[in-house]
């Protein structure tokens, strides 16, 4: 009998139908999902020309996205109970893999989703909120797990039979208790700081009720409970001191848990001081409550089962079972996975290898050789929770203690203007912060429900955040006034203090710092821009000033602001509706036709009256601002709101904004920037057509664009250098940079609606083609994927114009290779052709002037001197400069240099001398000598470069091109 041929593989539709049956989808929802799949499979399952996943992975992602769209946008209305977790489990996907591809998937089929489900399909899906919720709860669960097993015995250390099982049950009981209160009052836990306070309250309740034999410590001499009173150990004060939480907030949270336990279990709370139990021995019971039968042997299992059954699948927060966050099967498990203060997982791993610990995260870490890193010093590992709690402590101790109104010094500045602006400033703060942190009910605000509705916030929490933001705003405003007065030698700052955009940007930046501190789920950047009517370009003008003038700003918040600035520079400021274009048509009139053709101009900024009307917020005597109904114009000083755009701050490299005095022979952009930096801040925020306030040719638009372009060049220089090092053609770095700079200067329209990395990738490939290098686009992209800022949509979906599809005008996107051929080459051809005539890039004749065998200075001397730095991609070798003594300072850096080296050898059985020679060769480069210290600009630390100023004793170049070296040979890989 002839052998039967193997069965043909199932078609895509058949596999999808089987998945729908497996998930138990109702017929109507399954039919909707099948119809949507039929419409989008061509776009989602087509093999991309570059950078795509395997066909199997693409199919799983496609199925998951289509199913969630169908269930969320239609199934919920029909009572479908399938959750996103069920979909991901059925498709065998992890949550981080799914969320990583969301933006690319949605962009491919956005026109189809809009035609089927309306313009608000993205808001209905609430995927960005879900992604941030997953990150938040994953970080909270890791914190709870880590602290629980510090306080209670683990299975490996238990000796008594059955105790290990009980401890696991107690662990689950505490997490479910947290989930129970969270499901009953979700507004309490919209941010990581509140979640940590809730978990500390849960741990306090467990310490009171769990049998004492399950603890991993004894009360006497415990390192966990160090706060003592006359009556015994103060549990709450001890936990708050250890985990940097507010004692007042933890007690308030415990009160909420007590009410929830009484209601959920039907138990009566008793005063712990009246209870005689072994658990409370040597504990100060004042203010503590005891629940009889909560964790007793007879009723514990019943209570645990009751907690496990409770869930809230009716809201978007019910898409995941909170119990699953205690497992790593479907959720990220790395400590660096929570990424909302601008530190990606990859960057965090670089920072933490070798393990980097700090005594106080408000200060810059010491090098490993520093005495401060003695083993006796208590160290804290950098995690999302410790970062959030440190910055929250700064808000409580530094900002919250400030007055809630302008100080006497600030009032002097405001009253010394042409008219007293004090009342206008205070009223403006009330209106703008109410728009960001709404405290009125949705019915009072016209029934609107969304990200910025009061239903999303716990009202007392929102009131507290408004107070923190206003105090921070007044503090920074006073510092800016003092600095501007010294710069201009006048006390009357009317042009600046009467500028509406300036104040609104400063308020928005202050609110963003407060939101970033608490790591909120529902108000992710750029929501603060949408609430205040600002654009990304507006906010980019104030960030450097906030960092410069708030000296106590914690390191993590400096990183956050700098990572935001990088995002604004790389793409957000170039989007349609950015106020950058209102300045460009004045500073570069030749671009006006293209800007108008694409409809890129920003709408006018909404007035304070309009913001107040949205919130049903009425205050008499509001400062007059132009109406939004007025047509947009180049000289309009009321630039507009930013278009809605999700933003991931976790994948960004650093930017140095504190540029310093350049040497002679710099580009005209750089020299113009130097002059612009001498202008008062009012020039940056003035209307584009206003003449230069300090005299000379040009107008304020010229100053604003010059500063912005110089920052773009600095960011591009860093990324070009990194990419050229990855592809091992460092000698082409300056050529690629020069092409990029010429395009920015002469073909600025190539950046419109695009990401600067798209231009960088094309510049590198164009130079490689002209130089006839053995470098393909595939190799470039494979190396680019290793950059921390890389996202697939950057090279898979590039804007090339608009096209009409079924009568609807939509954006047209291509991947990078068609874009290079059709758009980039025609625009950049003159610059690339010029390389053929100029020959190879010039090399520094002084390359060998450095003393042999010693590390040479960094390419970017004006970046901060952060250490340690990994000097080999294949070996765990790190170097750090030793702290100089007074005697060392007598010698020039070129004659005396000492470094500490940490890590493994470069080769097995190799002498230390050869290892050191190999390390020095990795540090050296063939560039001109710069009399400064070596730079250790790690990715995760360099994001603070814009706020930390110049290293002592160093001179630096303003032009990023001057930072490049030109080695005479191709860089060799590590051996």
**pLDDT the model gives residue 651:** 34
**pLDDT the model gives residue 824:** 94
**E strand or H helix at 212:** none
Q: What is the spatial distance between Cα 496 and Cα 925, in angstroms, rounded to a whole number?
A: 46
Across 70-97, b (16+ Cβ under 10 Å) vs e yields bbbbbbeeeebebbbbbbbbbbebebbb
Q: What is the CATH number of the domain that holds 75?
A: 1.10.472
pLDDT category of residue 371 using cuts at 50, 70 and 90: very low
pLDDT category of residue 783 using cuts at 50, 70 and 90: very high
Query: Looking at the domain assignment, is residue 939 inside a domain?
Result: yes
Q: Does 452 score more than 80 pLDDT?
A: no
Q: How many helices (H) and strands (E) does the chain have?
A: 40, 11
Q: What is the spatial distance between Cα 925 and Cα 367, in angstroms, rounded to a whole number?
A: 23
- Beta-strand pair 798-805/380-381: unpaired
pLDDT category of residue 109 using cuts at 50, 70 and 90: confident
Contact 747, 811 (CB under 8 A): no
Which of 364-368, 504-508, 700-704, 964-968 is the most confident on average? 504-508
Give yes or no for a cis peptide into 354 (omega within 30° of 0): yes
Q: What is the spatial distance between Cα 956 and Cα 864, in angstroms, rounded to a whole number?
A: 12
Q: What's the N-to-C CA distance of the chain in angstroms?
A: 60
Please state which of the ranges 319-323, 370-374, 593-597 shows the lowest mean pLDDT.
Answer: 370-374
DSSP for 712-776, please give it: HHHHHHHHHHHHHHHTT-GGGHHHHHHHHHHHHHH-GGGGTTS-HHHHHHHHHHHHHHHTT-S--
Q: What is the spatial distance between Cα 369 and Cα 380, in angstroms, rounded to a whole number?
A: 18
For the chain, the C-alpha Rg in angstroms (whole number) is 30
Residue that has been written with the tokens 């020309």 in this structure: 49
Q: Does 952 score more than 50 pLDDT?
A: no
> What is the phi/psi pair of residue 661, to 5°?
-65, 130
Instruction: Name the nearest CA neighbour of 474 among 514, 503, 434, 439.
Output: 503
pLDDT category of residue 85 using cuts at 50, 70 and 90: confident
**Measured at the alpha carbon of residue 263, what is the angle toward residues 260 and 267, in degrees to the nearest 5?**
105
Q: Which of 79, 104, 125 is the last residue of a domain?
A: 125
Instruction: Name the nearest CA neighbour of 196 among 525, 554, 517, 647.
Output: 517
Shared-domain flag, residues 943 and 816: no
Backbone torsion region of residue 696, taken as left when φ is above 0, otherwise alpha when ψ lies between -120 and 50, otherwise beta: left
Q: Which residues pair with 822 in a beta bridge?
A: none
Give the 3-state DSSP-derived string for 118-165, with helices as H, strands as E and coil as C: CCCHHHHHCHHHHHHHHHHHHHHHHHHHHHHHHHECCCCCCCCCCHHH
Shared-domain flag, residues 180 and 321: yes
What tokens were used for 496?
A: 């600046």
Burial status of residue 450 (CB atoms within 10 A of its CB: 0-12, 13-18, 19 or more): middle
Q: Which of 793, 811, 838 is the last residue of a domain?
A: 838
Per-residue model confidence as pLDDT tens digits over 128-162: 888 888 888 889 999 999 999 888 876 444 445 44
Shared-domain flag, residues 778 and 909: no
Query: In this predicted model, which residue has the larger pLDDT, 971 or 939?
Result: 971
CA-CA-CA-CA torsion for 535, 540, 545, 547, nearest 10 degrees? 110
Q: What is the spatial distance between Cα 737 and Cα 739, in angstroms, rounded to a whole number?
A: 5
Query: Looking at the domain assignment, is residue 214 inside a domain?
Result: yes
Shared-domain flag, residues 159 and 307: yes
Q: Which of 333, 360, 389 is the last residue of a domain?
A: 333
Query: Looking at the domain assignment, is residue 966 inside a domain?
Result: no
Q: Does 201 score more than 70 pLDDT?
A: yes
pLDDT category of residue 254 using cuts at 50, 70 and 90: very high
Please give the distance of CA 123 from its chain centroid, rounded to a whole number.
Answer: 21
Contacts of 5 (CB under 8 A, 6+ apart): none
Q: Does 635 score more than 50 pLDDT?
A: no
Q: Does 883 score more than 60 pLDDT?
A: no
CA atoms within 13 A on the CB side of 118: 7
**pLDDT the model gives residue 682:** 79
DSSP for 645-663, please give it: ----TTS------------
Q: Does 186 score more than 80 pLDDT?
A: no
**pLDDT the model gives residue 620:** 53
Query: Looking at the domain assignment, is residue 179 inside a domain?
Result: yes
Q: Mean pLDDT in the chain?
A: 74
**pLDDT the model gives residue 686:** 80
Query: Looking at the domain assignment, is residue 699 inside a domain?
Result: no
Q: Does 904 score more than 50 pLDDT?
A: yes
Please state which of the ranges 95-109, 240-254, 726-740, 779-793 shows the lowest mean pLDDT.
Answer: 95-109
**pLDDT the model gives residue 696:** 58
Shared-domain flag, residues 245 and 287: yes
CA atoms within 13 A on the CB side of 604: 18
**pLDDT the model gives residue 275:** 82
Which of 342-346, 369-373, 851-855 is the most confident on average? 851-855
Contact 861, 930 (CB under 8 A): yes
pLDDT category of residue 955 using cuts at 50, 70 and 90: very low
Q: What is the spatial distance between Cα 670 and Cα 706, in angstroms, rounded to a whole number?
A: 8
Per-residue model confidence as pLDDT tens digits over 669-703: 444 444 444 456 877 888 887 776 665 566 888 88
Shared-domain flag, residues 193 and 319: yes
What tokens were used for 424?
A: 């206008």
Q: At what angle do helices 12-23 and 84-91 cross, to 10 degrees?
A: 130
Per-residue model confidence as pLDDT tens digits over 378-402: 444 568 898 899 999 999 999 999 9
Q: Does 418 score more than 70 pLDDT?
A: yes
User: What range does the domain containing 294 cover?
Assistant: 129-333
Query: Looking at the domain assignment, is residue 800 inside a domain?
Result: yes
**pLDDT the model gives residue 98:** 85
Shared-domain flag, residues 827 and 735: yes
pLDDT category of residue 870 using cuts at 50, 70 and 90: low
> What is the phi/psi pair of residue 361, to 5°?
-75, 0
**E strand or H helix at 880:** strand 877-881
Instruction: Name the maximum alpha-carbon separation found in the chain.
Output: 103
Q: Does 522 score more than 80 pLDDT?
A: no
Query: Looking at the domain assignment, is residue 217 inside a domain?
Result: yes
Query: In this predicted model, which residue has the larger pLDDT, 217 or 670?
Result: 217
Average pLDDT of the residues in 342-359: 32
Instruction: Name the nearest CA neighbour of 201 among 273, 260, 263, 138.
Output: 260
Q: What is the CATH number of the domain that holds 730?
A: 1.10.472.10
Shared-domain flag, residues 142 and 99: no
Q: What is the spatial distance between Cα 557 and Cα 361, in angstroms, rounded to a whole number?
A: 11
> In Å, how far are 314, 454, 514, 519 from 189, measured between CA atoms?
17, 14, 16, 11
Q: Does 185 score more than 90 pLDDT?
A: no
Q: What is the spatial distance between Cα 301 and Cα 294, in angstroms, rounded to a whole number?
A: 10
- Domains: count for the chain: 4
Query: Looking at the domain assignment, is residue 682 inside a domain?
Result: no
Shared-domain flag, residues 922 and 819: no
Q: Which residues pair with 903 in a beta bridge?
A: 877
**Measured at the alpha carbon of residue 679, what is the angle toward residues 673 and 685, in degrees to the nearest 5?**
95
Q: What is the spatial distance between Cα 572 and Cα 751, in angstroms, rounded to a whole number?
A: 11
**pLDDT the model gives residue 121:** 85
CA atoms within 13 A on the CB side of 174: 30
Per-residue model confidence as pLDDT tens digits over 527-558: 899 999 999 999 999 999 999 999 999 999 99
pLDDT category of residue 297 using cuts at 50, 70 and 90: confident
Q: Does 752 score more than 80 pLDDT?
A: yes
**pLDDT the model gives residue 359:** 32
Shared-domain flag, residues 779 and 718: yes
**pLDDT the model gives residue 631:** 37
Shared-domain flag, residues 785 and 721: yes
Contact 162, 246 (CB under 8 A): no
Shared-domain flag, residues 218 and 152: yes
DSSP for 497-541, please give it: HT-HHHHHHHHHHHHHHHHHHHTBSSS-TTHHHHHHT--HHHHHT
**pLDDT the model gives residue 9:** 53
């Amino acid at each position: 009998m002839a052998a039967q041929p193997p069965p043909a593989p199932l078609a895509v539709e058949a596999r999808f139908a089987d998945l729908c049956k497996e998930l138990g989808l109702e017929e109507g929802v399954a039919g909707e999902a099948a119809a949507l799949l039929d419409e989008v499979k061509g776009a989602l399952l087509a093999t991309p020309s570059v950078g795509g996943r395997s066909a199997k992975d693409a199919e799983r992602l496609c199925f998951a996205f289509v199913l969630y769209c169908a269930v969320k946008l239609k199934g919920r209305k029909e009572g479908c109970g399938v959750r996103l977790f069920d979909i991901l489990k059925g498709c065998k996907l992890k949550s981080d893999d799914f969320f990583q591809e969301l933006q690319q998937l949605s962009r491919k089929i956005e026109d189809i989703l809009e035609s089927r489900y309306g313009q608000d399909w993205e808001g209905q899906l609430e995927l960005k909120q879900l992604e941030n919720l997953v990150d938040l709860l994953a970080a909270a669960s890791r914190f709870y797990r880590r602290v629980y097993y510090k306080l209670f015995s683990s299975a490996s250390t238990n000796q008594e039979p059955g105790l290990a099982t009980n401890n696991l049950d107690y662990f689950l009981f505490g997490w479910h208790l947290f989930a129970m209160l969270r499901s009953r009052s979700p507004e309490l836990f919209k941010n990581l700081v509140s979640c940590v306070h809730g978990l500390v309250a849960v741990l306090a309740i467990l310490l009171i009720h769990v049998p004492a034999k399950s603890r991993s410590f004894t009360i006497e001499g415990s390192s966990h409970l160090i706060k003592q009173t006359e009556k015994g150990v103060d549990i709450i004060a001890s936990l708050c001191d250890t985990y940097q939480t507010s004692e007042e907030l933890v007690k308030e949270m415990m009160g909420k848990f007590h009410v929830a336990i009484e209601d959920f279990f039907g138990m009566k709370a008793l005063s712990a001081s009246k209870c005689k139990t072994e658990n409370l021995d040597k504990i100060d019971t004042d203010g503590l409550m005891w629940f009889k039968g909560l964790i007793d042997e007879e009723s514990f299992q019943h209570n645990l089962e009751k907690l496990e059954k409770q869930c809230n699948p009716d809201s978007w927060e019910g898409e995941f079972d909170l119990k699953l966050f205690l497992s790593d099967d479907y959720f990220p498990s790395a400590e660096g996975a929570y990424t909302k203060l601008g530190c990606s997982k990859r960057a965090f791993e670089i920072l933490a290898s070798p393990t980097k610990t700090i005594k106080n995260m408000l200060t810059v870490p010491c090098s490993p050789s520093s005495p401060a890193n003695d083993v006796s010093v208590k160290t804290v590992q950098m995690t999302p929770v410790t970062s959030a709690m440190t910055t929250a402590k700064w808000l409580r101790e530094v900002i919250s203690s400030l007055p809630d109104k302008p100080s006497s010094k600030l009032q002097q500045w405001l009253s010394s203007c042409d008219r007293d602006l004090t009342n206008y400033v205070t009223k403006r703060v009330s209106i703008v912060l109410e728009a960001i942190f709404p405290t009125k009910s949705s019915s009072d605000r016209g029934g609107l429900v969304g990200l910025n509705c009061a239903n999303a916030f716990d009202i007392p929490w929102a009131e507290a955040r408004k107070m923190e933001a206003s105090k921070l705003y007044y503090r920074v405003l006073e510092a800016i006034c003092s600095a501007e007065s010294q710069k201009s030698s006048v006390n009357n700052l009317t042009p600046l203090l009467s500028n509406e955009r300036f104040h609104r940007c400063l308020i928005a930046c202050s609110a963003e710092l407060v939101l970033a501190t608490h790591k909120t789920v529902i108000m992710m950047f750029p929501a603060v821009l949408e609430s205040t009517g600002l654009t990304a370009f507006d906010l980019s003008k104030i960030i450097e000033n906030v960092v410069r003038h708030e000296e106590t700003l914690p390191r993590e918040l400096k990183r956050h602001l700098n990572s935001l600035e990088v995002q604004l520079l790389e793409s957000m400021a170039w989007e349609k509706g950015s106020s950058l274009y209102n300045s460009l048509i004045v500073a570069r009139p030749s671009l006006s036709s293209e800007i108008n053709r694409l409809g890129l101009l920003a709408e006018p900024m909404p007035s304070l009256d309009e913001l107040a009307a949205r919130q049903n917020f009425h205050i008499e005597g509001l400062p007059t601002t132009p109406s939004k109904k007025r047509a947009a114009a180049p000289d309009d000083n009321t630039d507009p709101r930013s278009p809605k755009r999700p933003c991931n701050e976790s994948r960004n490299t650093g930017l140095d904004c504190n540029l310093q005095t350049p040497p002679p022979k710099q580009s005209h952009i750089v020299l113009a920037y130097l002059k612009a930096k001498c202008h008062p801040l009012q020039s940056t925020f003035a209307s584009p057509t206003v003449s230069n306030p300090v005299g000379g040719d040009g107008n304020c638009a010229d100053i604003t664009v010059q500063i912005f372009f110089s920052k773009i060049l600095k960011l591009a220089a860093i990324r070009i250098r990194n990419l050229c090092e990855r592809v091992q053609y460092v000698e082409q770095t300056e050529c690629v940079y020069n092409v990029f700079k010429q395009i920015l200067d002469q073909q600025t329209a190539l950046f419109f609606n695009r990401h600067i990395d798209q231009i960088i990738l094309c510049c590198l490939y164009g130079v490689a083609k002209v130089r006839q290098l053995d470098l393909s686009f595939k190799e470039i992209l494979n190396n680019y994927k290793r950059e921390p800022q890389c996202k697939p949509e950057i090279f898979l979906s590039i804007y090339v114009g608009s096209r009409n599809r079924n009568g609807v005008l939509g954006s047209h996107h291509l991947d990078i290779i068609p874009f290079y051929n059709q758009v980039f080459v025609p625009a950049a051809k003159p610059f690339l052709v010029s390389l053929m005539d100029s020959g190879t890039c010039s090399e520094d004749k002084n390359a060998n002037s450095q003393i042999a065998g010693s590390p040479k200075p960094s390419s970017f001397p004006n970046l901060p001197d952060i250490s340690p730095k990994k000097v080999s991609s294949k070996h765990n070798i790190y170097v750090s400069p030793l702290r100089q003594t007074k005697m060392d300072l007598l010698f020039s850096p070129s004659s005396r240099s000492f470094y500490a080296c940490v890590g493994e050898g470069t080769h097995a059985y190799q002498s230390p001398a050869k290892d050191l020679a190999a390390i020095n060769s990795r540090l050296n480069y063939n560039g001109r000598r710069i009399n400064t210290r070596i730079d250790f600009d790690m990715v995760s630390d360099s994001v603070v470069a814009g706020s930390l100023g110049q290293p002592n004793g160093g001179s630096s170049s303003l032009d990023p091109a001057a930072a490049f070296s030109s080695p005479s040979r191709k860089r060799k890989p590590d051996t």
